[in-house]
Structure 1
């Protein structure tokens, strides 16, 4: 297992479109799968009104809501791959041009219409890659 630096972790996160957001709901941890895009270092997701994630749409000028976002790519046969976790504050995207641009770039996977866009600004980015072990060195034959 090899630890990823911030830049490599964010680069890998941008290669997949599905992850899991971890947030607090009724004072308990909750997890929802969502699709995302990475814009610079920010993770952007879209949500619909009335859903569990709507509680994250605090006022854009507020501090935001602390969340974690996890995505990975693991091979089920070899058990090799990577996992990245971004921890930071989720805030609604207020700029109308950004909202429109993200609506064009990020289509929801579910049938429900998404009406809000959230940006997660990472304070902490961690990740690891599971790699194949190096083969043992060949024996030295002396003769």
Structure 2
């Protein structure tokens, strides 16, 4: 059971690290693309009608959306894993509490029987 929990925790850790790495890679590649686009940007002497517009803001927006989506998915997976582990723990603890309750009931019943035996023994001694 413990091995299952460690495995789920490791899976969540790997997902978190992978999403962080993807976000960093997207940010670096976006900045590199932005820098490359600025090298080819039209100068003041060029005719603006012949040069295509530079779209560096779209790449940054796309990276932000991808990063946000990855972070949201990772958070959701973490929430689900934590919730499942908690449910399993609560179920295990409730079954252990039920076993403990039954054990205490059996001990109480045993003590009642012993008390009745002692009372019968005392009554028998008084009659003699």
TMscore range, shorter length: under 0.3
Q: TM-score, normalising length from structure 2? A: 0.24
TM-score (norm 1): 0.23
Which has the larger helix fraction? 2
Higher strand share: 1
